Structure 1
């Protein structure tokens, strides 16, 4: 565990304020659920709760099935990271932070189809995976659909391709929307 040097007091209602710097670094937003753990040494640990991550193996199996059906790379993300990968290297994508385009899709709660993502003016903000370098997007076509549960966007299903001249169409968008809807229903139960 890494010490921050920050000390906070508990108020009369039992609340503790998580400093803004830590919330920004850990991508904790207002309303985000946190899990509370206690270890044997008496430490209290707060961990971001990921309902999509709870589906773990199920999300991976669903991604595998979708990949077999469409032959394109399938990524399933929670609000922060890629949690399931099919059709590509896990090392390259699994647990990597999502990019601004995925955050925007979740915020807007609307599926998008993007052909030729590198033709946009600001390619960095349009990449699925957030990275520190200024390399162009890795994909030639993308479909992103938010996973929505009880009005809250909690993740996204992403269908993408690296193949030159690949164009996504309405079929891929409907598949992504259907997958996102199905995963959302699984989490609502």
Structure 2
């Protein structure tokens, strides 16, 4: 654990303010859920909670099913990291941080299509040199909140995306959002 040197007091309602610098560094946004852990030494640990991360194995199986049918590389991510991947070795992308363009698409709650001819290109990861073309990004929304995305990728950057791929991604992300609401 890394000490920050920052000390804060708890107010009369039991609240504590997490400094802006820490929130910015850890990408904690207003309204983000945090899990609270304690240990025997009296430490209180706050950890970003990923509701879609709870799907774990289910998200992986779902990604594999879409890959088998659509033949596109499939990523499922929360608002920070890739939590499931199919179509590539898992070590290549699993648990890697998504790029700011993907974060913005998730926040905007609208499906986007990558199109090299119009310059509408998206970078999947932060600080990674990748040879993947982001074809479709479809945000996963549960109870009105954007919680992640289903992303179709290809190793061929000249691929033409049809309405079928867009519908596959939108149906998949909608289904995952409904799973999270149950």
Q: If the TM-score is normalised by the length of the shorter chain, which range does it land in?
A: over 0.9
Distance 1:13 1:164 in 2: 54
* 1:157 aligned partner: 150
Where 2:14 maps in the other structure, the secondary structure is coil
Distance 1:62 1:45 in 2: 32
- Of stretches 92-101 and 21-30 in structure 1, the one that deviates more from structure 2 is 92-101
Per-residue deviation at 1:89? 2.4
Distance 2:109 2:134 in 1: 20
Equivalent residue pairs, number: 182
Question: Which ranges of structure 1 fall in alignment gaps of 5 or more residues?
Answer: none
Q: Does 1:129 align with 2:125?
A: yes
* 2:140 aligned partner: 147
* 1:167 aligned partner: 160
Q: Is contact 1:141–1:166 with CA below 8 Å preserved after alignment?
A: no
TM-score (norm 1): 0.90
Per-residue deviation at 1:164? 4.6
Q: Is contact 1:106–1:154 with CA below 8 Å preserved after alignment?
A: yes
Where 2:28 maps in the other structure, the secondary structure is coil
Distance 1:8 1:141 in 2: 42
TM-score (norm 2): 0.93
Q: Is contact 1:35–1:47 with CA below 8 Å preserved after alignment?
A: yes
Question: Which ranges of structure 2 fall in alignment gaps of 5 or more residues?
Answer: none
**1:180 aligned to which of 166, 173, 179:** 173
Where 2:98 maps in the other structure, the secondary structure is coil
* 1:108 aligned partner: 108
CA-to-partner distance for each residue in 1:98-148, whole Å, 9 max, x for gaps? 11221121122110111228x738x6xx311111x6x5x632351000000
Q: Is contact 2:123–2:134 with CA below 8 Å preserved after alignment?
A: no
* 1:32 aligned partner: 32
Distance 2:174 2:167 in 1: 10
